[in-house]
Amino acid sequence: MISVKNLEKRYGEVRAVKGVSFDVAKGDIVGLLGQNGAGKTTVMKILTGYLEPTSGACTVGGVDVMLDRIGVQKQIGYLPENAPLYPELLVQEYLLMMAELRGIEPGKQIAAVSDAVRATGLTKHLVRPIGNLSKGFRQRVGLAQAILHKPEVLILDEPTNGLDPVQILEIRALIKRLAEHSTIILSTHILHEIEAVCNRVVILIDGELAADSTLGDMLKAKTVRVSVKEGSDGVGTGLGRVPGVKKVTRRGADLENRGYDVWACDFDSAEPPTTEIIAAAATGGWKLMAVAPETPSLENVFRGLMQEHAARAPAKTEEKAA
């Protein structure tokens, strides 16, 4: 549905986006995750035709953004971080104006507005000035204008930014409902937002693509925690011989269970080698207390990617200087 290839955007000497590539399949809800300034909004503005890339290519529904910007925008509903609403207009006045600007036929505008209003829960607020609405309902108005023309793609920039907890839950539920008919890309720097809404994650760090994966694959267990009674001999060596284990690390004593020694086994097999570890314990005569896969959190994954990026940065600086 969406294809981004070697995308780069420069502002003078500053490279805001650095050779980013990813694809989005129809029906995906993709979270564009990164810290402030990572390049998320820049990528979105390029996808929607609001910015031109310095180099690279973007297509939406097979249409090239650079060659047919209007053709791309007809397929997209866009909610920028600060939606350009008109506070003096009534909700219905604003949506009817947007329906006309979207090129919806006059005879179909009222029906389009009605569908968008029902989808976003604005039925009771049609004759209220936008300026009198809470921030959560203003976000709903922004979403309503984005879906008036029933787009195949929705691009939402920080859709829950500044909302209270109740409003956040309401907008998340709304996004899930909209995903039944649209492919969605939403940007955020809030990790829980991704876990609550998305099925895929694209992570940007300092304008570079750091990860592109389904949420399930990203959060799949890759480490087994092994607890043994202190005094068990040859645990590290024995764990290193288990098929599928690629790295063994001794974490030291378990503070919650005095007398336990904890080891971590990183594995590269499809499933954690729990059975093989238990068999190795029986062979080695260890006093095994627990074997459990460790499911990573998105926070830990993101922190690890940030650390890897920071470690690579000095090397890149040295290469550039050379």
Q: What is the pLDDT of residue 135?
A: 85
Q: Which runs of consecutive H residues, i.e. helices, occur in the chain?
A: 40-47, 69-73, 91-101, 106-120, 135-147, 165-178, 191-197, 215-218, 235-240, 274-284, 298-321
Q: What is the pLDDT of residue 111?
A: 95
Print the domain residue range for 63.
Answer: 2-218
Residue 19: what residue type? G
Domain boundary among 218, 235, 264: 218
Report if residue 193 sits inside a domain. yes
User: 306-310 contacts: CB < 8 A, separation 24 or more?
Assistant: 306/35, 306/205, 308/210, 309/205, 309/206, 309/208, 309/210
pTM of the model: 0.79
CA atoms within 13 A on the CB side of 80: 10
Q: Are residues 124 and 268 in the same domain?
A: no
Q: Are residues 193 and 247 in the same domain?
A: no
Q: Are residues 120 and 154 in the same domain?
A: yes
Report if residue 237 sits inside a domain. yes
Q: Are residues 44 and 109 in the same domain?
A: yes
CATH number of the domain at 268, please. Answer: 3.30.70.100
Report if residue 94 sits inside a domain. yes
Contact 38, 205 (CB under 8 A): yes
Q: What is the pLDDT of residue 258?
A: 65
Q: Are residues 44 and 149 in the same domain?
A: yes
For residue 194, the tally of other CB atoms under 10 A from its CB is: 25
Contact 101, 77 (CB under 8 A): no
Report if residue 77 sits inside a domain. yes
Q: Are residues 18 and 61 in the same domain?
A: yes
Tokens found for residue 61: 């529904």
Q: Are residues 231 and 212 in the same domain?
A: no
Tokens found for residue 247: 């790295």
Q: Are residues 129 and 262 in the same domain?
A: no
Contact 210, 309 (CB under 8 A): yes
CATH number of the domain at 123, please. Answer: 3.40.50.300
Tokens found for residue 104: 């919806």
Q: What is the pLDDT of residue 322?
A: 47
Report if residue 312 sits inside a domain. no
Number of domains in the chain: 2
Q: Are residues 67 and 136 in the same domain?
A: yes
Domain boundary among 218, 249, 278: 218
Domain boundary among 218, 246, 273: 218
Q: What is the pLDDT of residue 204?
A: 93
List, in sequence order, every residue forming a beta bridge with 18; answer none if it has no partner: 8
Report if residue 263 sits inside a domain. yes
Q: Which residue positions in the chain have pLDDT lower than 50?
A: 318, 321-322
Contact 1, 153 (CB under 8 A): yes
Q: What is the pLDDT of residue 256?
A: 62
Q: What is the pLDDT of residue 126?
A: 93
List, in sequence order, every residue forming a beta bridge with 245; answer none if it has no partner: 267
For residue 290, the tally of other CB atoms under 10 A from its CB is: 12
User: 243-250 contacts: CB < 8 A, separation 24 or more?
Assistant: 243/269, 243/273, 243/276, 244/268, 244/269, 244/273, 244/276, 245/273, 245/277
Report if residue 317 sits inside a domain. no
Q: Are residues 76 and 144 in the same domain?
A: yes
Q: Are residues 207 and 124 in the same domain?
A: yes
End-to-end CA distance of the chain: 41
Q: Are residues 270 and 176 in the same domain?
A: no
Report if residue 313 sits inside a domain. no
